[in-house]
Structure 1
Amino acid sequence: MSQAQEQPNPPDGHDPVTLEVVDLMARMVGLFHKEYEDAASARSLTGAQAKVLGLLRLGPLPMRQIAQTLSCEPSNITGIVDRLELRGLVERQADPGDRRIKLVAATEAGGAASAELRESLRFAREPLASLAPDERDQLRDLLRRIVDGAQQR
């Protein structure tokens, strides 16, 4: 039996491997954030505008949900959506289920801009390509477990 199998993880997550993983995840987030901001800027978008367009890939969303997802004030989202709307990248729509609620939807141009931005992100693509397919699957599954666990808190 290996040493890792003999010693269970401390319940508070303060074992050296967990701490190293947290540090590596923080470095990855920093690298991704910089590349994301650069890619947005190259398309004359702010990072926040690009994030809103990215959220809308899945379909129209209420402005309140966008604010909650991005952890910002609804008034900030109003300004971001105003600027995106002026550029023809999003449009406001009445929610068919509750006309008091405004949905934000990407226009065709907004969807194309979001797809182009996403495609331009090279941050992890090459390092991930160096992993075997089963390793990428395993990493994806582990990351899903981490994200799902964090969302349940």
Structure 2
Amino acid sequence: MSSGLGVDDGIRTMLLLMPRLVGRIKRLQVPPEIAGLQLAPRHLSLFAYLQFDGPLGVNDLAARLEVTPATVSLMVGELTRKGILDRQADPEDRRKAIVTIAEDQRPAVDAWLSQSAKAWRAALEPLTPAQRQLFVETFSRYEREISES
């Protein structure tokens, strides 16, 4: 039975793996219905929150995406003009906007997201909940560390 990887072996493996992973992610096929809309990987995160968490306010999206509400407002405005998102007044507070994926665009957005979701499911499903948590925490820490350097 293997006792696992040493830190240096793990670093070497990840340094070789990450560029391949990023390259493959960049080549994910955008469905033809939305291919000409100049969508970027940053839009995937916004779509994922709306798909998994349902309609959200701009401030909620900003907090989850870890950007300013102004940044989210610009993204939402752009995607609303392109017909991918719908923005409606919050029935409880008319000053706030609630953002959703436009119904007619939902199948295309779902198809785009499902490519990554399917791969993540295959990678994470065999793990125990504790192993999944450790993996997600490790990946999150890597993202924080790389963004600080």
Q: Give TM-score scaled by structure 1 length.
A: 0.61
Tell me if 1:137 matches 2:126.
yes
Q: Which amino acid aligns with 1:39?
A: V
String of CA shifts for 1:5-35, please: whole Å, max 9, x gaps: 7xxx8xxxx8223323542553354134412
- For residue 147 of structure 1, the aligned residue among 136, 139, 144 is 136
Aligned ranges 1:20-99 → 2 under 5 Å: 20-24=12-16, 26-27=18-19, 29-36=21-28, 39=30, 42-47=35-40, 48-58=42-52, 59-99=54-94
Tell me if 1:17 matches 2:9.
yes
- Bigger drift between 80-89 and 135-144 goes to 135-144
Q: Is the 8 A contact 2:44 2:113 kept in 1?
A: no
Q: Which amino acid aligns with 2:126?
A: D
- Bigger drift between 83-92 and 47-56 goes to 47-56
Identity %: 19
**SS state of the match for residue 137, structure 1?**
coil
Q: Is the 8 A contact 2:37 2:82 kept in 1?
A: no
String of CA shifts for 1:103-141, please: whole Å, max 9, x gaps: 21112123122112234x38x85xx6xx9xxx9613997
Q: Is the 8 A contact 1:63 1:104 kept in 2?
A: yes
Q: Is the 8 A contact 1:85 1:91 kept in 2?
A: yes
Please provide the CA RMSD for this pair: 3.9
CA distance in 2, matches of 1:112, 1:94: 24
The structure that has the greater radius of gyration is 1
Q: Is the 8 A contact 1:67 1:73 kept in 2?
A: yes
Gaps of 5+ in 2: 145-149
- Bigger drift between 81-90 and 25-34 goes to 25-34
Q: Which amino acid aligns with 2:18?
A: A
Q: Provide closer, same or farther for how the CA distance between residues 104 and 31 of structure 1 changes in structure 2, counting only shifts above 3 A.
A: same
**SS state of the match for residue 99, structure 2?**
strand
CA distance in 2, matches of 1:62, 1:26: 33
